[in-house]
Each structure stands twice: as C-alpha cells, then as structure tokens.
C-alpha cells in the first residue's frame, strides 16, 4: 500500500479529545486490515490528581514514562520533568518501527514535552516527508518552529478539534486515510 504522503494534524485546547480521536481512528482502521503504529500519550493520575504522562507504543501496548511531577534530572515543562531518555528509547523507537512496518503512523502529541528530545524532533521532521498517511496531534498554542512547520505541512488537513466536530472528525480522517491507501 502507498499512502500518498497524507499528513493530518489535529489541534485543539487541552482535554478536547485529540488523543481519543486519534485512537478511535486507529481502532477503526485496524479491523480493516490497516497496520497502525506509532505512539499516544496518556495521563497518569493518583488520587484524582494528574502526576504525569506516559507514552504508549500503539503496536505493542508497551508503556514508558514521558513526564512526572516531582522528579529530578531532566528538562522541565511547567511542573513536570521530562524523561527524554525514555521518550527516545521507547517512543521514538515506536515511531521509527511504524515508519518501517506500518501503513499508517500516529504521533500523539507533538508538544512542549516531546520537543525536549532532539531525536524526537528529527523523527517528526522525517515524518513530514514520508509516502504514507501520518496522523499527529499538535499543541494548540505552541510557537516552536517545528510545530509551525507541522501545521503548515498539514495544510488543509489541519483540523481544530472541538466538542462540535470531534465525532465527525474521526470518520472524516478514516475516509481520508482509506482514500490515500487506495481503498
């Protein structure tokens, strides 16, 4: 299968459902025989409070630490310390595996924490030039040059998610990917 270089980026305010949307896209494509890989991020809560984020490999389900409150030894984003080594050894590896072996690559999220890794940045740069569908989520207000380029690369396929369009957007993305795959 070829993907025609479709690059779809979802943005929107925190909590609007970007991660849920990309996972619903992946879940809709998999039963159709589409191999989906990459990463998504997941909040980690303890006692009702958010204490960090994990990065999950979509193909294997393997989870690793992205960031935690109260940790030391890494770059900070707000109250979180980013585990760059974990992101690179597990998260970037999952994206690279998806680039090599999957029909569709998902990257959730291209945001301030992930941008602390130069290897992650290089991998996203590479993603913008592949001939297969990519679905990414990007931080709404980030001004980082890479985020600006990702949004520009998506062009008409940059979708701002909100409560009114998040359900219909999943179907739209699935159909766009199916068309790119020649279905």
List, in order of start, the domains of the chain with CATH numbers.
Answer: 7-180 (3.40.50.300)
- Name the token pair of 83: 């585990």
Q: What is the distance of C-alpha 144 from the center of its chain?
A: 16
Is 111 labelled as part of a ligand binding site?
yes
Is 108 labelled as part of a ligand binding site?
yes
Is 109 labelled as part of a ligand binding site?
yes
Q: Using N-to-C axis directions, what is the helix angle for 18-29 and 166-180, rounded to 10°?
A: 40
Is 182 labelled as part of a ligand binding site?
no
Residue 173 has pLDDT above 80, yes or no: yes
CB 99 within 8 A of CB 129: no
Is 16 labelled as part of a ligand binding site?
yes
How far apart (Å, rounded) are the C-alpha atoms in residues 65 and 140?
23
Classify residue 73 by its DSSP letter. Answer: S
Is 155 labelled as part of a ligand binding site?
no
For the segment 65-103, what is each residue's pLDDT rounded down to a tens digit? 999 998 788 999 999 999 999 999 999 999 999 999 999
For the segment 18-31, what is each residue's pLDDT rounded down to a tens digit? 999 999 999 999 99
């Amino acid at each position: 299968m070829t993907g025609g270089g479709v690059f779809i980026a979802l943005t929107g305010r925190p909590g609007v459902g970007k991660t849920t949307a990309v996972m619903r896209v992946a879940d809709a494509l998999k039963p159709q025989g589409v191999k989906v890989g990459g990463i998504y991020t997941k909040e980690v809560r303890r006692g009702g409070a958010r204490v960090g984020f994990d990065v999950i490999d979509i193909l294997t389900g393997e989870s690793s630490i992205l960031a935690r409150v109260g940790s030391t030894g890494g770059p900070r984003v707000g109250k979180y310390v980013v585990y760059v080594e974990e992101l690179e050894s597990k998260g970037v590896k999952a994206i690279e595996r998806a680039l090599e072996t999957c029909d569709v690559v998902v990257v959730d999220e291209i945001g301030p924490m992930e941008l602390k890794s130069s290897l992650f940045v290089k991998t996203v740069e590479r993603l913008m030039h592949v001939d297969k569908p990519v679905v990414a989520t990007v931080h709404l207000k980030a001004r980082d040059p890479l985020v600006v380029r990702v949004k520009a690369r998506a062009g008409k396929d940059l979708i701002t998610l909100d409560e009114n369009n998040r359900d219909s957007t999943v179907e739209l993305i699935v159909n766009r990917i199916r068309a790119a795959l020649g279905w």
